[in-house]
Amino acid sequence: MKDKSSPDFASLAMTGWILDNDTVDSGTLSTLTIVGRIVPAINHQSRMVNHQSPIINRQSLLDQKGPILSLLTILWLVTISFPVAGAQNQITFWTTEVEADRLEIQQGIARAFTRKTGIGVRVIPVQENLLTKRVTAAYAARSLPDVLFHPIDFTIGWAEAGILDDRSATEVVNRLGRETFGAGPLGLARVPDGYAAVPIDGWGQLLLYRKDLFQKKGLPVPNRWDHILEAARALHNPPLIWGFEAATDPGETYTQQVFEHFALSNGVRLTGKSGNVGLDTPEMVQTLKFYKALTRFSPPGNLYWLHTRMDYISGRAAMIIWSPFILDELSGLRRDQPVVPDIARGESGFLARNTGFVTIIQGPKGAAQYGQINYLGITRDAHNASAKQWVEFLLNEGYLRWLGMAAEGKLPVRKGTRDAPNCFIEGWKDLEFGVTTRARISEFYGMDVVKTIVAGVEGFDRWGFAEGRGALVSKIYGTKIIPEILKRFLNNELSAKDAARMMDERVKALEDGQ
């Protein structure tokens, strides 16, 4: 337990740029003293992030020499000198939903919680690409927030590192009812004694394609590898339109996500039947060759989420892989994101109506949909009772309002309550999405698409989690070794066999702590 009579070091120092500087001068200290907290710049992309490895050791951090330790020491000395009145009745909630409109919603949920319980909630925005750095520093300073909103990529690793309190999370799940959650999201956070964190929302990766162009060419739905390649070849007509835009930037988690989707669809697992890491397989070699074939129909350069999204809503891509967060831009509900095909035809909603969605991709040796689940983690430094109340409130009274922050990309992983088993699913269907203009998803895409997107939650697939290797997955995502090796293969520096072998060796080295 941390002493709540002192101001929270995490909320003061971890949400701004201070820890990224090498020194702290007197001006900075004055700023800290006067302002008390520095809020980060807003990150308008809520999906593709640049993570760092979260597997840490508190004592090793405290033993380190250099600027980070000095900064932690200085900031700690500054913060302990300024007690905050009423801190005993407050908990701290770190969120990566940092957009201004989403912060306003979260603060509104927190106010409702305070009115009900008398417990204050300090909502602290943390940019996704800085999350692991902030958690690492707060862990070393013994000043973690009470509750952490975070992706599954880090859940198991943080639990094993002693950051998350799996006992508290398990108590919340049991009190709300395990049967009220989707089995898939719960299973991904499974640890020997229960659950590392409590699932709150998620999304499944989608293959988007131009239905109108497919129909003109008489092409089948691109739900299989051979259909995808056939369509990419038939529709490829650069620079007017690219057949398929594949992720190729080695520094982006997006590249890992897209490649992993195809690898899973071909039966490539992180571990083999023996339980050992096994990426050097014929299926991986086959996946690498297929992915390289797709890039022949993509623009040159390092492509990431921004390129693929912009080219699709500009009418310059026939197929892309993206999350459901693209649905509002695609529908023309954002004034700052013009939809070129709609403008060219003078027909609002044209691109949305002529976009098809594939959830499960079938490869020669399997079929899968990549999914991302977000969790609420109660930390080891938390006031357990208050933190558990806050998590339960977010998944009860505050749940539909939480999902409504971005309904297109926040699917309900808690289906309902014991008394009303499907109330949250039915409530989500009535939520509106969009920024400049608001509308129900079903109004643009139809109820069949809505049902398909929601139904996928139960079957989301990922490397490693079902096999209990979540900590290793955290390291893989943190280091980005798969995108790095993939890029070398795409640049013809490695053969497919060499790339598969190198991926296998590098992941095994991560597992061994090298």
What are 175-201's pLDDT values in tens digits? 999 999 988 899 889 999 999 999 999
Mean pLDDT of 2-28: 32
Quick: pLDDT tens for 418-428. Answer: 999 999 998 99
Q: Residue 164 domain-assigned?
A: no
What pLDDT is recorded for position 55? 46
If one compares 312 and 12, the residue with the highest pLDDT of the two is: 312
C-alpha 401/C-alpha 357 separation (Å) is 26
| Stated pTM of the model | 0.76
If one compares 80 and 159, the residue with the highest pLDDT of the two is: 159
Q: Residue 384 domain-assigned?
A: no
Mean pLDDT of 194-223: 97
CATH (domain of 304): 3.40.190.10
Q: Residue 465 domain-assigned?
A: no
Q: Residue 199 domain-assigned?
A: no
Q: Residue 296 domain-assigned?
A: yes
Q: Residue 52 domain-assigned?
A: no
**Residues facing residue 164 across a β-bridge:** 379
If one compares 428 and 468, the residue with the highest pLDDT of the two is: 428
* Contact predicate 39/123, CB 8 Å: no
Q: Residue 11 domain-assigned?
A: no
Q: How many structural domains is the chain composed of? A: 1
CA distances from 465 to 53, 142, 191, 301, 311 (A): 17, 28, 10, 32, 33
Confidence of residue 6 (pLDDT cuts 50, 70, 90): very low
- Residue 323 sits at the vertex; the CA angle it makes with 344 and 348, to the nearest 5 degrees, is 25
The chain-wide mean pLDDT, for the chain, equals 83
What pLDDT is recorded for position 43? 34
What pLDDT is recorded for position 441? 72
* Contact predicate 254/305, CB 8 Å: yes
Mean pLDDT of 269-289: 95
Q: Residue 355 domain-assigned?
A: yes
Confidence of residue 219 (pLDDT cuts 50, 70, 90): very high
Quick: pLDDT tens for 305-362. Answer: 999 999 999 999 999 999 998 988 888 777 778 999 999 999 988 999 999 999 999 9
H/E stretch holding 199 reads strand 198-204
SS3 letters across 340-401: HHHHHHCCCCHHHHCEEEECCEEECCEEECEEEEEEEEEECCCCHHHHHHHHHHHCCCCHHH
> Structural domain of residue 501, as residue ranges?
206-368+480-511
